[in-house]
Structure 1
Amino acid sequence: MAGTLDRLKELLGEPNSWGWARPRLWEAAEEHLDIRLPADYKAFLDLYGPGAFDGFLWMDRPVDGTAHELERLWPRSGGKCDLHLTDPGRYPFPFHPRPGGLIEWGGEEDGTVYYFLPGPNTHCPDEARPLSTGGDALTPAGDERRTTVRGLERRAR
Structure 2
Amino acid sequence: MLTLGDLERVAPALLAHRSATARPVDWELLRTDLGITFPSDYREYVDHYPALSYDDFMMIVVPEPGNESGYARGAFGTLEIMTRLAERNMTEDYTFHPHEGGLFPWGESNEGDLFFWRKNGPDPDRWPVVVHTSNGDWWEHEGGLVSLMVGLIDGSVEHLGLPPEPGPNPTVDLMVPASDSQG
For the aligned pair, the TM-score class normalised by the smaller chain equals 0.7 to 0.9
Q: C-alpha distance in 2, partners of 1:108/1:148?
A: 15
Partners of 1:93 and 1:102 within 8 A in 2: yes
1:102 corresponding residue in structure 2: 103
Look up the match of 1:147.
152
What are the ranges of 5 or more consecutive residues in structure 1 without an aligned counterpart? none
Provide the aligned C-alpha RMSD in A: 2.8
- Report the CA distance between 1:6 and its aligned residue: 4.2
How far apart, CA to CA, are the structure 2 residues paired with 1:153 and 1:137? 23
SS at 1:61 equivalent = coil
TM-fit CA distance, 1:98 = 2.9
Amino acid in the other structure paired with 1:147 = L
CA distance in 1, matches of 2:116, 2:169: 25
Instruction: Could you tell me which runs of 5 or more consecutive residues in structure 2 were left unpaired when the two chains were aligned.
Output: 156-165, 172-183
- Asked if structure 2 preserves the Cα contact closer than 8 Å seen for 1:96 and 1:103, the reply is yes
Q: Is the 8 A contact 2:130 2:139 kept in 1?
A: yes
Secondary structure of the structure 1 residue equivalent to 2:97: coil
Normalised by the length of structure 2, the TM-score is 0.67
Percentage of matched positions with identical amino acids: 22
Of 14, 18, 21, 1:12 maps to 14
- Map of 1:36 onto structure 2: 37
Secondary structure at the residue paired with 1:75? helix
Rounded Cα–Cα distance in structure 2 between residues aligned with 1:83 and 1:98? 15
Q: Residue 36 and residue 45 in structure 1: after superposition, are their counterparts in 2 closer, same or farther (change >3 A)? A: same
2:177 equivalent in structure 1: none
Partner of 1:80: 82
Q: Give me the whole-angstrom Cα distance separating, in 2, the residues matched to 1:129 and 1:8.
A: 21
TM-score normalised to the size of structure 1?
0.76
Structure with bigger RCO (C-alpha 8 Å, 6+ apart): 2
Is residue 114–residue 131 contact of structure 2 (8 Å, CA) maintained in 1? yes
Output the CA distance in 2 between the equivalents of 1:133 and 1:109: 13
Q: Deviations over 1:38-63 (max 9, x none)?
A: 11112122222113223121122111
The 1:46–1:39 alpha-carbon spacing in structure 2 relative to 1, beyond 3 Å, is same
